[in-house]
Structure 1
Amino acid sequence: MTRADDPDVRVAAATALWAAEGSPDEVVPLLEDLLDSFRHHEAADALGRIGPPASPVLPRLRDMLTAGYEWTRVHAATALWDIGGPDESPVVVRTLLDAWRKNGATANHAMACLDRMGPAAAPAVPFVRAQLALARRGDWLLGVEKDEELQRVARAFLVRLG
């Protein structure tokens, strides 16, 4: 299944293989191959869940930070943080905030990563404060529920970072 023609099946199979066996040597190359497919967001997310054992893909994720599409950059930055940790924080924060500014629909995903980053995301505090001061954040298509979730996570983030 990890070599199926359908990238959806391959992502699911690689994720299941990771859950069953926990072998990064086997799973990371499978997911790295999928970074070139239309399922690159799911592959990046799965690599991020693997964490530091997926470190061989860090250069590829850094390359994805220059993609033209904000969602690609957000998923790559999130995985970069989850795998590389504090050493990656400056570029991750910069990428997440840039994507959020350009595409409000990325706000919740970006904020979730900033929240996980904790003190490493301190440079984002002024931007997050400014977003909370707005009457509405994110993308109008996301609706009230997503905006309220964003506000809740952002407030908790600001409380922890002072």
Structure 2
Amino acid sequence: MLRRLQIVILAPFSILLVLSVGSFVYAGYLTVQLAFNTSWSSGGVSDNIVQALQVIDVCLIGTAALVIAAEALVMFMANADASRGVAWLGPDSVDSLKNRALSMVVLILVVTFLEVVVHPQNGRSELELGLAVATVIVSIALYLLASRSNTGGAGRSQV
């Protein structure tokens, strides 16, 4: 009976797979848009750099979604013998998957803040956003450090 319940993991795997493919398609669109903007636009270098960071960010989101999906699938579906070919995925627990997702949140926050800083409107709103982003990043960092110390420091590197 428990073996049959493992099939339930296919639902979130499928959702993450669609998210990943969608991210890669969107990154391709952003890349084409960046190429056209760079070629025919008189926009500043900082605009192009932020757009390039957006492309990288979307690609990393897609990659992280794909890795998290694959790790979840390996963790819940694979036998010990069958998973040797994908041992590099080898998640320790659901917490390691959660830590990867939180690391991606930090990257998204940083890129979002950079987008705002490139086109400042008034210093106060940028300062408030920067403080909010810094607060969230520090909170996530403290959580990741606490969860790593609770597991005896055996945490793997994050995406």
TM-score w.r.t. the length of structure 2 is 0.31
Structure of higher RCO (CA pairs closer than 8 Å, 6+ residues apart): 2
Structure index of larger Rg: 2
TM-score w.r.t. the length of structure 1 is 0.30
